[in-house]
Amino acid sequence: MFLDIPCTLMRGGTSKGPYFLAQDLPSDPAERDRVLLAAMGSPHIRQVDGIGAGDTLTSKVVIVSPSTRADIDIEYLFAQVSVDQMRVDTMPNCGNMLAGVGPYSIESGLVKTQDPVTTLRILNRNTGKIVEASIQTPGGRVTYEGTVGIDGVPGTGAPIVLNFLDAAGARTGRLFPTGDRMDVVNGIDVSCLDFASPLVFIAAESFGRTAHESRQELDADKELKAGIEEIRIEIGKRAGMGDVSESVLPKVALVGTAARDGTIAARYFTPWTCHAAFAVTGALCLAAASSIPGTIPARYAQHRKLDPNLNRIEHPAGALEIRMGPAKDSSAENPSFSVAGLVRTARPLFIGKVHVHQPSSLADVCSLP
């Protein structure tokens, strides 16, 4: 027996995955997760029996629902579906997939539009934080065509402006989860910040690297990844996150001096493999850290004198720009940011129904090859 569940497969930024209305999924979280695993074809290294594409960047799900809050237009929950394990993680957020939430909500009839731009206040249920998204809606209809290109995605599209409001302490409640701007783990200086998402920053040169390596080169270095994981697990404990060995948070980024015209070079880990480009939430956290003296990223950041609030992060697919807005009461001792923004693009890939086995049948279809 199969369940037929309406969904829209969308590319959001440099990621893609299905977008669902919450009303079309089981309300019980455990049952919902079983349905998502079946829909994506997990656990299976190729996700051949589902609509996942065998990569963490394409095994993502967004669940959208109306909001009962007067100050919020729409709410969404992000779910990272494991490719090869029976696990769905709703702890992290994904800024790339967020880019599709506004257009999907409009196309689904959940919110009204304006001409020529519709700005929505979106609540991320993973973190409880609010994001303002501005979507191009000439004539009151979403347009996906435009001239904006983002590195890591072919072609161009209509700009979707995302402004993250009060993003500090998104998961841990603290900008500096360990209480310090710098920690030492296994003789290596590291910084942990929680801005949009918790990240551990490590100087690439601490591992004999430059932060200009390819994704393939870093993924092939088992010794490097083992060293990074030791640091990540220890920082997780110091940050009050407990044993993070089975959790994707905190993520990790190796940082170094920019090679081109960027502010900083970085390689982002998800956390067990290197990202093909750079996660939006990770980029926001890196931009914040780069602006705060005493952190590892600040050692390498080269801000432009004419526009010090613009952070250009060099990554394997090119670069990503984040604009930070320091709060009026921000200081060197107590840094804070009123807004952090960037531009993404998104578009639907198909609209229809995904056929999934009934939850009681999952044991027959979710076995490893």
Q: What is the pLDDT of residues 34-93, one digit of tens each?
A: 999 999 999 999 999 999 999 999 999 999 999 999 999 999 999 999 999 999 999 999
Which is nearest to 226 in space by CA: 244, 199, 207, 241?
Answer: 207
Alpha helices in 263-345 (DSSP H): 280-290, 296-300
The label of the residue with tokens 């004999």 reads 208
Q: What is the pLDDT of residue 353?
A: 97
Mean pLDDT of the chain: 94
How many Å is the maximal CA-CA distance in the chain?
63
Q: Looking at 60-69, 170-179, 324-333, which range is the least confident one?
A: 324-333
What is the Cα–Cα distance from 333 to 325, expressed in whole angstroms?
A: 17
Whether the pLDDT of residue 239 is over 60: the answer is: yes
Report residue 129's pLDDT band, with 50, 70 and 90 as the boundaries.
very high
Alpha carbons 60 and 15: distance in angstroms, whole number:
8
The residue whose two tokens read 């979106």 is 122
Whole-angstrom distance, CA of residue 159 vs CA of residue 135 = 7
Of the CA atoms within 13 Å of residue 275, those in its CB half-sphere come to 31
Residue 219 scores a pLDDT above 80: yes
Residue 359: the pLDDT is: 55
What residue type is assigned to position 223 of the chain? E
- Measured CA to CA, the distance from residue 302 to residue 290 in angstroms comes to 9
